[in-house]
Amino acid sequence: MEYEYFGTFRNADARLLMDSFLERDICFDAEVDDSAIKNMSPIQMFLGGTFGTGSKIAVSVHPDDMEEADKIRKELFEPEQQGK
């Protein structure tokens, strides 16, 4: 099944988004995006790394569900726009 890149999200945000996708039968795929950790400089490593922010979740959605997925994203992360 083909999926289109939808976005990269912090872990907590990805969880909210994917839970909503499951509730509404949106076809999606997700994978860990740890490129920030892999590309970390030695100095940043020495200073403690990314403090838990280096790993995110890359989400892809089936093209047929892209419009509904975008509505869900807006409902979750742009609630102030709903009344306008």
Q: Which amino acid is at 20?
A: S
| In-domain check, residue 83 | no
pLDDT per residue as tens digits for the range 21-39:
999 999 999 988 765 555 5
On whether the CB atoms of residues 37 and 54 are closer than 8 A, the answer is yes
pTM above 0.75, yes or no: no
- What is the average pLDDT score of the chain? 81
pLDDT per residue as tens digits for the range 49-59:
555 555 788 99
| In-domain check, residue 27 | yes
Cα–Cα distance between 68 and 82 in angstroms, integer?
15
| In-domain check, residue 84 | no
| In-domain check, residue 39 | yes
Cα–Cα distance between 47 and 4 in angstroms, integer?
36
Question: What's the total number of domains in the chain?
Answer: 1
